[in-house]
Amino acid sequence: MHPRLTTTRAEATVFTMVLTQGPVTRVEIARRSGLSSAAVTKAARPFIEAGYLEELEATERTAPGAGRPASPLTIRANREFFAGVKITDDELIGVITDLRAQPLVSAHRRLTTTSPEGVVEALAELVADLRSDDPAYDERCHWLGLAVSGDVDKALGLVRYSPFLGWRKVPLARLAGEATGLNVTVENDVRSLTVAEQWFGDGVGASSFALVTVGAGIGCGLVANDRVVAGSHGVAGEIGHIPVGGEEPECHCGGRGCVEAIAGTAPIVAAVRAATGDASLTIDAAIDVAHAGNTAAREVFARAGHAIGLGIAAMANLFGPERIIVTGDVQGLAAYDLFEEQINRSFTSQAFGAAADCRLLLRPRTFEQWARGAAAVAIQTLFSSQER
């Protein structure tokens, strides 16, 4: 096991800034963070000594004509490696990343069971295979991040409820840690992807933003005041369960008219099957039928877009993010053009005032990127402040 490396808020601030915005000089770190130059130097020293940070050759002066050239600090990305795994109901997708959460190797493993014991056994085999790809991975990979859909308590490493896996109260961090010998973080998959966007993606530099995911479910991750919003009970940003369809249809959560019950993959497939009379259609076939111009199928996707747009508008009205990133798995976003217009129209009509001006960014993501998000959570956990 590998302990956390930071003990102070200043250390966490300095390291995070270099990691997400570097290379950057100590002077610039002090200016952006409000720390004194001495505090920045003190905070950076243990990371330099441990080999996580290094000084580049001086490229600029602290001020025109004054002082010696400043030496930017940068990350030694290969100092530590991280494993990340996205768990679906039929597959594990795993990656090894460097300190910047850049995937270096990836692998998929089909699941023959969704029992916690069976998934953990397959998980341990997958992680062992990934680490064996390079001796450095085996030597310097001490953390494993897991991303799971549903209600997850990150602090306890507990999957309270995952509808797609059929899990309730599964102590996944403990089970995976025992099976792999690694430090394990477990997080909701959407929040994991949000962390990756916050530290290494389109969320860098934004103190508040939202990430909306479209696919089997409709999820939403929130960042406010530079922090991912987890909710006091581990639930936050669940726009998929905002009721927008009245009393119908029934949702797996027990509610009615939820965004996810209208715009999730399974409801879309069921609605296109009913509209076309073809009970054999898959989601790929449903998308193809709609792309071919079938009016009934296109109306199903338009209704889904309307539901998503209303959900995003409700979130924007309540939260007021600087930007909204719309993403999802490749399959979900393959249909994006079918409901993009309706999403924008419904969002604009329902968003209040200036919230309607919030920029929507479309960013397709493969499942490897979701696994990268799991690794990003592990990186964040390792280098976060232990101060309360």
Check if the beta carbon of residue 48 is closer than 8 Å to that of residue 18. Answer: no
Q: Which residues pair with 85 in a beta bridge?
A: 94, 146
So where are the chain's domains?
9-75, 80-195+370-382, 204-365
Check if the beta carbon of residue 189 is closer than 8 Å to that of residue 219. Answer: yes
Task: Estimate to the nearest angstrom the gap between the alpha carbon of 4 and the chain centroid.
Answer: 21
pLDDT number for residue 29: 93
Q: Hey, do 9-75 and 204-365 end up sharing a CATH topology, with the first three levels equal?
A: no
* pTM for the structure as a whole: 0.84
User: Whose CA is closest to 334, among 285, 293, 296, 295?
Assistant: 285
In order along its 388 residues, the chain shows pLDDT tens digits of: 555 565 688 898 899 899 988 899 999 999 998 999 999 999 999 999 999 999 998 765 545 555 556 789 999 999 999 999 999 999 999 999 999 999 999 999 999 999 999 999 999 999 999 999 999 999 999 999 999 988 899 999 999 999 889 999 999 999 999 999 999 999 999 999 999 999 898 888 888 999 999 888 888 999 998 888 877 666 677 888 989 887 778 888 788 889 999 998 899 999 999 999 999 999 999 999 999 999 999 999 999 999 999 999 999 998 889 899 988 765 556 777 888 889 889 999 998 887 778 888 877 778 899 999 999 999 988 877 554 3
Burial of residue 104, with CB atoms counted within 10 A of its CB: 0-12 exposed, 13-18 middle, 19 or more buried = middle
**Which CATH class, in words, describes the domain spanning 204-365?**
alpha beta
Question: What's the CATH code, domain 9-75?
Answer: 1.10.10.10
Return the CATH number of 80-195+370-382, one of 3.30.420.40, 3.60.21.10, 3.30.450.150, 3.40.50.970. Answer: 3.30.420.40
Question: Which stretches of the chain are DSSP H helices?
Answer: 9-21, 26-33, 37-49, 116-131, 135-140, 172-180, 189-200, 259-263, 265-276, 283-291, 295-319, 330-334, 336-350, 367-382
CA distance linking residue 40 with residue 45, whole number of Å: 9
